Amino acid sequence: MLLMMLGIVVAKADTKRVLFDAGWQFTQNGKTVKVDLPHDWDIYAGPDAKTGATGTGGGWYPGGKGEYRKTFKTPEGEVVRLHFEGVYQKAEVFINGQKAGQHAYGYTPFTVDITPYLYKEGDNEVLVKVDNSEQPNCRWYSGSGIYRHVWLVTSPALHIAENGVYINTPLVDDEAMVRVEVTVENASDVERTATVMVGAETMPITVPAKGSETDTLVFFVQNPKLWSPDTPILYEVRAMLQEQDKTIDSQLARFGLLNFSYDSRMGFMFNGKITPLNGACVHHDDGILGAMAFDAAEIRKVRQMKDAGFNLIRTSHNPPSRAFLDACDSIGMLVIDEAFDGWRQAKTPYDYSTLIDSCYREDIHAMVRRDNNHPSVICWSIGNEVMERKDIQVVTTARKMKQAIEDYYCERPVTEALCSWDSDWEIYDPHAEVLDIVGYNYMIHKHASDHERTPERVILQTESFPRDAWKNWQIVDEYPYVIGDIVWTGLDYLGESGIGRYYYDGDTPGEHYVEGGQPEWHGAYCGDVDITGWRKPISHYRELLWNRETAPALYMAVKEPNGYYGTIRETAWSVWPTWESWNWKGGIGPKGETVPSWEGKPIEVEVYTSLPAVRLYLNDQLVGEQQSAECKAVFTLPYQPGTLRAEGVTEEGKTVSVSLSTAGEPAQIRLTADKTTFLADGQDLAYVTVEILDSEGRVCPDAAIPLTATVKGAGSLLAFASADLKDTGVYTDQRCTTWKGRALMAVRSSAKSGNISIHVQGKGLSQGELKLNTINRR
């Protein structure tokens, strides 16, 4: 990320934002514990298919009610507010016993003015009541509690409003017009006149008593440096508020300069270049952390998708955290910012259908006001597979949703994910006409007939099956009116239990949505990347399809033999279980059963490649050579332990190769941190990958070994889990059983700098040890 500053004047800003996350008392079911936010009480409880009120959709977690309390001194400032980035859900805020505000929807931010309720002296108490007891209310894991940050905000009576610097940046040839709306609020009892300054531009503004006023300034940037996923260049501008020649408030805003267009003839054009959208649907949870939206976790989530070759994320099906969008801006990731899953007809008994009429405008406005300045956000989405799609009134609802976005000056297109579960697709044309870009969930097979009927329609496949990667890439590549494909999903996630699973004879049969759900599962296995961060083979294949010039030229994995652990059954969102493993020598299976060796039996090896041909060797003996088709070469050979090697030759004549070797018995534990130094602010995280190795340092890809972790010093263990979504262990516990030889730890820093010592032990293994260090922010 490169940061460009435009006319920044450093001045004292009377509006102050103080992170308010530390030192809360959380009470549930008569028990009180001290917590620091973000906090999700569900992830500390764990899943239970017998008692979990959230059901199969929510991952069998408990939900329920909880209360958060904190005492604080009255801060200086004429206006004092609490800003909540996200509370799931139905939050009520009390100050010193008096109700100060409430907010129903769990995924949008809200602010409560607490000024009238504060004591002039002594301690104040804030009480936040959270009610997630009406279940089920979500089709995926929501978490429960104050799961995003809280801020204490103090301002002068006359101040720039929250999200009060609202920027749009249409490009004109070699210069960029920057259109800045500044909203000023006046909490005093008299009309006030002031001056707004943005860079060299100024304008007078008169704000009525107890009211607000918005005015617009325009300036130009010559030879703008454009933001893109490859060059995420950000600009900064500060709006200043002056009264009687004194600066009384200011607000800093970041934005990017970019230019994109879309039509059915050229497709999606970004900064003048045709840019197919290779997208991933991503839910809001952070895997082993549940819903707790630590900045480091949100950054890691975006980085994982970037490293997997995606250039777009659809925030299915709710607005994300501010930290998530900041990460997309700085790392370089396009975003479809989605407001809701459903509308008026319920998908679950207590979902947004119970709130829509009273809340939709407020929630859409909260999303747009907060997220507008982010250059990563290229499109708004107003819904997903709404149930009332056959009722003509759905068109009116769609128009109202779109109008709520357009209540603000906004240049981004609006989409919605449409679908059909029967043959009635064409009847949705009036609904589709409301949208600037029409989202297709699993309906891309209709693209040709739809283009013939409505040739101006721009189509984006907003959800697709993981196994259809080649077909979907090919459609986008050949037909410009189909501007991209968004797979369901980029990451495994909690809830929607069992979607994407494969299973064996003897397991509960059928899809995740069968009556009664899949009680053995508490999460979704349809992601390209699992919850420990391991990229599944389908991820490497998809990256190669969309990024031929930058993706590795070779990748190799082995299809699990049908019958090795049992007869394999697939489901709609699954892919065949395929692993970076050449260990098929038998042993103990996932259910404790004895598995015989596969030696001498046929096994399939898949090599994903951008090269025209691949050779495969086993123990340095040539198995054969295959011409690649659909970026893949598939070999069948009798299994024999040893070393498997795939080779290819690039256009430059360079030989490239990848290999897999049979691992021996588990002997040691390896710990690898994503960073060894991080901030001592009580908020930063280090992720530690835990792997089981043999005596020669090779990962044991079948190892399922119980481990115990201890963390001492200037940090604490936040979570420890594997990617096994059938393991019902509590993620925040210090014990974990590895799956496929891996697990993941999250370590949280304390507020004091120092060293952190990590030890992981397992019976019969040399323990893993790691030292980390935390430092104060400079």
For residue 528, what are the CA distances in angstroms to 114, 243, 465, 622? 44, 54, 11, 31
Three-class DSSP labels, 417-456: EECCCCCCCHHHHHHHCCCCEEEEECCHHHHHHHHHHCCC
CA distances to 86, 470, 630 from 627, rounded to whole Å, are 52, 17, 10
Map tokens 């969102």 to a residue. Answer: 573
Using alpha carbons, select from 434, 546, 539, 549 the residue that is nearest to residue 484: 546
pLDDT, average across residues 263-286: 97
Token code pair at residue 715:
């940090």
Counting every residue written for the chain, the total comes to 778
Position 555 pLDDT exceeds 60: yes
Q: Is the pLDDT of residue 18 over 90?
A: yes
First to last CA, the chain: 19
The answer on pLDDT for 8 being more than 80 is no
Q: Which single residue is written with the structure tokens 């991820």? A: 539
Residue 10 pLDDT: 43
Q: What letter represents residue 451's amino acid?
A: H
CB 223 within 8 A of CB 230: no
Report whether pLDDT(462) > 60: yes
SS3 79: strand
CB atoms within 10 A of CB 178: 23
Its pTM surpasses 0.95: yes
Whether residue 585 is predicted with pLDDT greater than 60 in this model: the reply is yes
How do residues 365-380 score in pLDDT, each as one tens digit? 999 999 999 999 999 9
> Are the beta carbons of 746 and 687 closer than 8 angstroms?
yes
In the numeric block, the tokens 């899943």 are attached to: 47
Q: What's the pLDDT score for residue 11?
A: 46
pLDDT tens track for 333-349? 999 999 999 999 999 99
Please compute, for residue 470, the number of CA atoms within 13 A of its CA located in the half-sphere on the CB side: 8
Which segments of 85-122 are extended strands (E)? 91-95, 98-103, 110-113
**What is d(CA 385, CA 387) in angstroms, rounded to the nearest whole number?**
6
pLDDT digits (tens, 9 = 90+) for 120-150: 988 999 999 999 999 999 999 999 999 999 9
What is the spatial distance between Cα 743 and Cα 761, in angstroms, rounded to a whole number?
Answer: 13
According to DSSP, residue 666 is labeled: -
Q: Which two tokens stand for residue 704?
A: 């399922």
Residue closest to 305 by CA, chosen among 267, 278, 274, 336? 278
62-74 pLDDT, tens digit each: 999 999 999 999 9
The pLDDT value recorded for residue 593 is: 87
Determine the Cα–Cα distance for residues 334 and 63; give it in Å rounded to an integer: 33
Residue 350 and residue 392 in contact, taking contact as beta carbons nearer than 8 Å:
no
pLDDT of residue 43: 98
DSSP per-residue string spanning 297-336: HHHHHHHHHHHTT--EEE-TTS---HHHHHHHHHHT-EEE
Number of H helices, E strands in the chain: 10, 53
What is the overall mean pLDDT for the chain?
96
Contact call for residues 231 and 188 (beta carbons, < 8 A): no
At residue 588, does pLDDT exceed 90? no
- The sign one gets for the Cα dihedral 661, 662, 664, 667 is positive
- Kindly report which listed range (16-30, 171-185, 427-441) carries the lowest average pLDDT score: 171-185
pLDDT of residue 9 exceeding 50, the answer is no
Confidence of residue 591 (pLDDT cuts 50, 70, 90): confident
Which pLDDT does position 5 carry in this prediction?
60
